[in-house]
Chain A
Amino acid sequence: MDNTVSADLRDLDTSGPSGPRPRRTFSRRNIFLYGTLLVIALYYLLPLYVMVVTSLKGMPEIRLGNIFAPPVDVTFAPWVKAWSQACTGLNCDGLSRGFWNSVRITVPSVVLSIAIASVNGYALANWRFKGAETFFTILIFGAFIPYQVMLYPIVILLREMGLYGSLWGLVIVHCIFGMPILTLLFRNYFTSLPEELFKAGRVDGAGFWGIYLRIMVPMSLPIFVVALIIQVTGIWNDFLFGVVYTRPDTYPMTVQLNNIVNSVQGVKEYNVNMAATLLTGLVPLAIYFASGRFFVRGIAAGAVKG
């Protein structure tokens, strides 16, 4: 039996369009779209470009005033000076001291806050203990209180604990202030994982920590990367807590950068300032480049089950 469609194909005019619709590379739509994107990209890249070229120029060249011109005489002296010789207050050993202070602040703060917040989020999402909702509400409420309100009470608290001015005092402050947003992040992520996995873990005999470490954490790499980026950037770039809770010899990099750039004595060394700023921004930038792929996946992960 003939299974073809019964319409008589011989009488059809088949000379017209067939197959995929042709697409022109230089259509008006494409030119407009990519042109706009290009202009916006340039607009955002321009300040970075100015910073990079300025940091590679000597002061005589900068005084000529052509800020967009590429350096005639490339010099790395401003970078060296910013890192190891620039004066901040009494010390003249550059940003290096602040860099290591910042590392010593950021690493424990990030590790501690993520470790605690992920367990918080897991307990809130899966174990539904008595008062969990109240606890969570109070925690989230904490996220809406302006930091400035709590600056002085915390100074007193740290002083009473004997931690005022030490790096560990600042680490504790960062952990506490990161807690609401991170707990929310982890709670929502763990809630989005199928509940049956948690049940299966319980039937298999894994306890609170067993389920957390062996089932939940291995499934949660994307959200840990998101938390890592949020925390590293936030803590590394923090200025307020750094300037309030540390002493000159424990200043983080941002505070030192401010002291270099805003110094009122002597000649403004724009090239050193630019180099110092770039140096300070390198760490968050590196984190973004290294894990940006996971970041996007983690942000989107809440929407997809399993």
Chain B
Amino acid sequence: MESVIVKDLSLNFGAVKVLNSLNLAIEQGEFLVLLGPSGCGKSTLLNCVAGLLDVSAGQIFINGKNVTWEEPKDRGIGMVFQSYALYPQMSVAGNLSFGLRVSGMPRDEIDKRVSRAAEVLQIESLLNRRPAALSGGQRQRVAIGRALVRDVDVFLFDEPLSNLDAKLRSELRVEIKRLHQRLKNTMIYVTHDQIEAMTLADRIAVMKGGVIQQLDTPQAIYSQPVNRFVAGFIGSPGMNFLDGVLAKGPVFEADGLTVDLERYQFESTDGTGRTVQLGIRPEHVLIGEAAAAMPHTAETAVELVEPMGSDTLVWTRLGGQAFALRVDAERAVRDGDTIRIGFDPARASIFDAVSGERL
């Protein structure tokens, strides 16, 4: 059964159309990540689901109930904000219990829920502190706890880790994933961080300009991006794009470069003659002896080397265009070396140069 359904949702701020007739269905217990650059409408969509923004058109269903006109508190949602949004004058326990006290829940039930949430999030020792006396990670735990005590079906996260430093972010990321495994609630998570999206999501919705570009599993989005935008947004370091033409064969042709695309799975049959872009991820390019076994190989000179610790990014040229590949850090590659590289065109992506769509 679907937990959250967004149907033909539009939202305008004056003349600006932020969301335009958007449709989205989220399964019960699913972890869905809304991913996109800032201004793509992902937070707006989340605020609409939460009921914090009035929609211009369309409907929202949560657990089969039409909540389009409902107040946030009546939608069965809990929300975690980027800036934590803890009430500064209340203790941690006060923050956790605020929503329950507002709803007039009996005292002992409140205590039970607060202590259970505190136990789940391991913040029992902090219950009497004020938010100002907590670290960033602790604050965000309390913010999650505030959604937890409300015993709701759907959790909404609005960039919850963006204010934390890199180390804490990866720690809390794991904790959120564990929390989801344990609670099995539906979670909608907004982020612009692709690592968070890839690691947490059951499905990712990549958004741009208020439109969902692709809604699929992280693996499918990584390996089969539907257009150039998704391909470029996912993956770090980013995908290589080579400009060229699709010729009969089918082959990809660029300046002094011909790539046989016999093994490539085309989505549309008629592509010959179009100007296209060939996309290859740096981690899919092999070097040295391993490269020789690949369907496509080339000799090329190293222009720049970026050591990143775990591995090294090597910049070179292919078909006269900048091209990066990721090699093991153990391998000694220096500027000016000539290396043999190879890749499998079946793992590449080909996009129409004009529309950006995958071919």
Contact = CB atoms under 8 A, between A and B. Distances in A.
Q: Which bracket fits the contact residues of A?
A: 10 to 19
A290 B89 CA distance: 23
Interface stretch (B14-22, B76-84, B187-195, B312-320): B76-84
Interface in B4-32: none
A19 to B, nearest CB: 34
Interface in A167-212: 194, 196-197, 199-206, 210
B73 to A, nearest CB: 3
A22 interface: no
A203 B87 contact: no
B88 interface: yes
A199 B81 contact: yes
A202 B98 contact: no
A196 B85 contact: yes
B14 to A, nearest CB: 12
The interface centre, meaning the residue of B50, B77, B79 with most chain A CB atoms within 10 A of its CB, is B79
Contacts, number: 62
Contacts of B102: 204-206, 210, 214
A162 interface: no
A203 B98 contact: no
Interface in B141-199: 146, 150
A203 B50 CA distance: 8
A306 B88 CA distance: 8
Contact of B98 (A194, A204, A306): A204
A219 B86 CA distance: 12
A196 B51 CA distance: 13
Interface string B82-105: 111111110000000011001100
A215 interface: yes
B87 A215 contact: yes
Q: Which bracket fits the contact residues of B?
A: 20 to 34
A202 B52 contact: yes
A196 B73 contact: no
Nearest to A217: B89
B73 A203 contact: yes
Given A200-B85, A218-B89, A205 B79 contact: no
B119 interface: no
Contacts of A197: 85, 87
A203 B156 CA distance: 11
A218 B90 CA distance: 9
A194 B73 contact: no
B88 A203 contact: no
A130 to B, nearest CB: 11
Given A210-B102, A218-B89, A200 B81 contact: yes
Contacts of B78: 203
A202 B81 CA distance: 13
A178 B141 CA distance: 43
B89 A219 contact: yes
B255 interface: no
The interface centre, meaning the residue of A194, A196, A202 with most chain B CB atoms within 10 A of its CB, is A196
The interface centre, meaning the residue of A197, A199, A203, A215 with most chain B CB atoms within 10 A of its CB, is A203
A204 B100 CA distance: 8
B235 interface: no
Contacts of A196: 81-85
B2 interface: no
Given A199-B52, A199-B79, A210-B102, A204 B73 contact: yes
The interface centre, meaning the residue of B77, B87, B150 with most chain A CB atoms within 10 A of its CB, is B87
B72 interface: yes
Interface in A250-306: 306
A202 B83 contact: no
A204 B103 CA distance: 9
A16 B15 CA distance: 68
A206 B87 CA distance: 13
B56 to A, nearest CB: 15
Contact of B85 (A194, A205, A214): A194
Contacts of B89: 218-219
Nearest to A199: B52
B71 interface: yes
A204 B145 CA distance: 12
A125 to B, nearest CB: 15
Contacts of B82: 196
5 contacts: A196-B84, A197-B85, A202-B71, A203-B52, A205-B103
Given A202-B73, A203-B50, 11 more contacts: A196-B81, A199-B47, A199-B85, A200-B87, A201-B98, A203-B99, A204-B98, A205-B73, A205-B99, A219-B88, A306-B88
Interface of B: 47, 50-52, 71-73, 77-79, 81-89, 98-99, 102-103, 146, 150
Nearest first, the 9 A-B pairs at minimum CB distance are A205-B73, A204-B99, A196-B85, A200-B85, A218-B89, A196-B81, A203-B79, A203-B72, A205-B102
